Structure 1
Amino acid sequence: MIRALVLLALLALPASALASEWRYTDGAGTEVVLAEPPQRIVAHTSVAAALIPLGIEPVGILLNGQPSLERALEGVDVSHIPVVSQGWGEIDAEAILALVPDIIITEYAPEYYSYAGGTHEEPFKSRLEAIAPLIGIATPNSTLATIVEYESFARSLTDSVNEERLAADKAAFEKARDALIATAATKSDLTVLPISPGRSEIALGVASRFGELVDFRNWGVNIVELVPTSGDYHATSWENIRNYDSDILLIDDRWGIASLATITENPLGARIPAIIAQQTGNWPAGWIRSYRVYAQEIDKLTSLLERSEKL
């Protein structure tokens, strides 16, 4: 009798009350609890780049800057998705409100206590939180681990992840990674220097501070060990760049070919041995969010190692 009454009581509840509760604690320790998994998502660039290949499409996108500079979204069709932010802190709250989002998702950088896109700054944070819960996904210090984290997050949102594409992308990644490991083992004497040139000085990437560089080192690539002098970088002058011996330069590619031109157009940069030998490649600094794209970038690095020699 009691069991029958409980069953009748459950049947009398609205469907929303029976839906599975969705909980998520973000990188800043903020917990969001919703009656059901969010469906209408406004996503930061990197979040969109991670979720769209898995079959989850946001209703709006927060950009870090001009679309032409958003490397994370290369190869991802977002032409039909409204852009509600054109740069850091340039957030159109009214446009977001019109999309009626269930949640706003960005990324969280623990070392800087900040959300991507400036969404943690006032007055933007308060405006966004008045529209929908705001969370920042903490990204591990490994690009591979970050992609795995997004896969897990996607499964918390839906049971309809694009499994066929995911399996194919994983296979492509694993093939590329294994090829890199094999090549790096035969080229372990080649030193690799990540570099982000500026007009007045050069920022050298500290391998332990960038997820893709951490992965590359774990897979046997001999990346030069540096101590940070400012944030994630080791700064040096153009006059001193030749003190950092390297056989290969990986050049920050977040701004296309502009970084390479910055080096070659500088008389001191043009004298760097790796530049003279044309032993340079792309450094995909911080923007990879999918297995397929990671496979493509790993293949480029493998080819670079294969054609490079000790200088």
Structure 2
Amino acid sequence: MKPHSKPAVRRLSVLVAALLALSFSAACSADSSSSADDTSGPWAFVDGSGETVEVDHTPTRIIAHAYAAAALMSFGIKPIAVWADSDVTTDPGTKDLDLSGVEILGETFGEIDVEKAASLRPDLIVGDWWPVENAHSGFEAGVEEESKKLADLAPVVGPSQGDSIVELIEGYEKLAASLGGKLDDPTVAANKQRFETARSNFTQATAAKPGLTALAVSPTTDGLAVAVPKYAPELLDFQSWGLKVVDPERPDEGFPYWETLSWENADRYQPDLLLIDDRSYPANLDDAKKQPSWTSVAAAKADAVVPWPAYWLHTYSDYASQLEQLTAAVQSANADLVG
């Protein structure tokens, strides 16, 4: 990531000290959505890391990673601020969120305006737990050290990016429930039902084509990154629901989410269907099509491609939409494309 610095950060320690001096009642006074009765008494949550986080009241002033915010908002908890890895108006995981009244603390990976965050007096920071990196979103390798000072402002919690997106969503449902979320809202039940229907249809589609293989990739101008399903919960879900997502043989050392191929070696794997990282789709597909070796992959030559919701799914509604799209792609794919 490119170097980035904020001259005003040298004043952060003063703001943090002020934050710690604030009483709980002052922190709650700016939040009209919860009464004192709702937030009195101790609160605890078992984090994705396995640690139990405890505070003396139910948090109400929450700062969250943008994808975590999507999950919380789907269960009736709206953060006071978010930080994102890209433009929230175009990122597939946030572009449909109503972020009115929510402060944006950053829209570039690794860069968080901690001084602004401190001024908001948060009492909880929320982001996914990433087991491979042993860190929450916003505190991984590659994040600015100054940005990581966000953790000085309040406890950090979040469910784990583990073996299933369904489990991740369920983790956020539990977190939202502990924070006073509206789990009895009819929209929650409707979104769950739509997801269950989409999952059933997807499972039926894959069962009808047991030999169909898929490869999840992220094309760049420099090469083709092949996703390792073990570290992509949505791909593990797809596998468990019958889609044969290829496991690459040589994950990159030190960052095993991918096996990075040069364009000269783009044809190492030959699936029937290509799942394309949708975080920069379709621009990344356009870049791939400029490479002479792109069509050495039979699925690329046959235009057997579909967007892949890479690492951002956090809600039943979004998952349903993506499964509906993927189901259509499976139904139209040729399971005998590569023999």
TM tier, smaller: 0.7 to 0.9
- Per the alignment, residue 309 of structure 2 pairs with 284
Give the deviation of 1:270 after TM superposition: 3.2
What's the secondary structure of 1:43's corresponding residue? strand
- Per the alignment, residue 16 of structure 2 pairs with none
- Per the alignment, residue 124 of structure 1 pairs with 147
Contact 1:246 1:274 in 2 (8 A): yes
Counterpart CA distance in 2 for 1:274 and 1:130 is: 48
Out of 114, 117, 121, the position equivalent to 1:96 is: 117
- Per the alignment, residue 47 of structure 2 pairs with 26
Counterpart CA distance in 1 for 2:322 and 2:115 is: 38
Q: How does 1:271-310 map to 2 (within 5 A)?
A: 271-309=296-334, 310=336
- Per the alignment, residue 59 of structure 2 pairs with 38
Give the deviation of 1:87 after TM superposition: 2.3
Per-residue CA distance 1:239-287 (angstroms, 9 max, x = gap) = 2222311111111111121121121111111343212222110111110
- Per the alignment, residue 214 of structure 1 pairs with 236
Counterpart CA distance in 1 for 2:112 and 2:264 is: 41
Counterpart CA distance in 2 for 1:159 and 1:61 is: 18
Counterpart CA distance in 1 for 2:265 and 2:145 is: 40
Out of 72, 89, 105, the position equivalent to 1:51 is: 72
Q: How does 1:1-311 map to 2 (within 5 A)?
A: 19-28=40-49, 30-68=51-89, 70-118=91-139, 122-125=145-148, 127-158=149-180, 160-230=182-252, 231-309=256-334, 310-311=336-337
What's the secondary structure of 1:71's corresponding residue? coil
Contact 1:56 1:161 in 2 (8 A): no
Contact 1:108 1:116 in 2 (8 A): yes
- State the AA in 1 paired with 2:81: G
Contact 2:295 2:301 in 1 (8 A): yes
Give the deviation of 1:93 after TM superposition: 2.2
Counterpart CA distance in 2 for 1:240 and 1:139 is: 30
- State the AA in 1 paired with 2:109: W
Contact 1:191 1:247 in 2 (8 A): yes
What's the secondary structure of 1:27's corresponding residue? coil
List alignment gaps of at least 5 residues for structure 1: 1-14
Which 10-residue stretch deviates more, 301-310 or 26-35? 26-35
Instruction: Detail structure 1 runs of 4+ shifted over 6 Å in the superposition.
Output: none
How many residue pairs match? The answer is 295
RMSD, aligned CA: 2.1
Give the deviation of 1:31 after TM superposition: 4.0
Q: 1:212 to 1:218 in 2, by over 3 A?
A: same
Counterpart CA distance in 2 for 1:134 and 1:159 is: 18
List alignment gaps of at least 5 residues for structure 2: 1-35
Q: 1:88 to 1:237 in 2, by over 3 A?
A: closer
What's the secondary structure of 1:117's corresponding residue? coil
Counterpart CA distance in 1 for 2:110 and 2:206 is: 41
Counterpart CA distance in 2 for 1:19 and 1:68 is: 36
State the identity %. Answer: 32
What's the secondary structure of 1:76's corresponding residue? coil
* Larger Rg over CA atoms: 1
Which 10-residue stretch deviates more, 169-178 or 265-274? 265-274
Counterpart CA distance in 2 for 1:304 and 1:135 is: 36
Q: 1:256 to 1:205 in 2, by over 3 A?
A: same
Give the deviation of 1:28 after TM superposition: 4.0
Give the deviation of 1:177 after TM superposition: 0.4
Counterpart CA distance in 1 for 2:78 and 2:43 is: 18
Contact 2:214 2:271 in 1 (8 A): yes
Contact 1:103 1:134 in 2 (8 A): yes
- Per the alignment, residue 10 of structure 1 pairs with none
Q: 1:136 to 1:124 in 2, by over 3 A?
A: farther
Contact 2:216 2:276 in 1 (8 A): yes
Counterpart CA distance in 1 for 2:57 and 2:192 is: 29
TM-score by length of 2: 0.81
Give the deviation of 1:121 after TM superposition: 5.9
Give the deviation of 1:300 after TM superposition: 0.7
Counterpart CA distance in 2 for 1:227 and 1:210 is: 15
